[in-house]
Amino acid sequence: MKEFFSGEKILSKKPLYYQTAEVPDIWFSPEFVWEIRGADFTISPVHQAAIGLVHPSRGISIRFPRFIRSVSDRRPEECSTAADIADMFHSQTRKMQVSTED
């Protein structure tokens, strides 16, 4: 991966379509689709996936995410949407109480 994501693959700044408060050392354009699995979805003050769909000012994160495999038959544009993530949050078996207070 280090060799693949080098040179022209490194972006000079955060793409406009990314919504995050995190500040990584470098940014890459989406190239791969990965299947990941985690313990459950939680409300996060840091991660902003599906922000506003489950909580007005917080996003959703995955607890203990693990890489499962690369998915070669899908493009990054075909991945889970914010609405998909909110649906997965609501359908998980371990229900979480969502307080709208910060």
pLDDT of 67 reads: 96
Does 76 fall in a domain?
A: yes
Question: pTM for this structure?
Answer: 0.74
Report the sign of the C-alpha dihedral through residues 89, 94, 98, 102, in that order: negative
Residue 36 lies in a domain: yes
pLDDT truncated to tens, each residue of the chain (102 aa)? 888 888 888 898 888 887 777 788 889 888 899 999 999 999 988 888 999 999 999 999 999 999 999 999 999 999 999 999 999 999 987 766 666 665
Residue 92 has what pLDDT? 86
- Domains: count for the chain: 1
Q: Check if the beta carbon of residue 47 is closer than 8 Å to that of residue 28.
A: no
Give the whole-angstrom CA distance, residue 62 versus residue 34. Answer: 14
- Residue 102 included in any domain: no
Question: Does residue 52 lie within any of the structural domains?
Answer: yes
The domain of 49 spans 7-91
CATH code for the domain of 38: 2.40.50.140
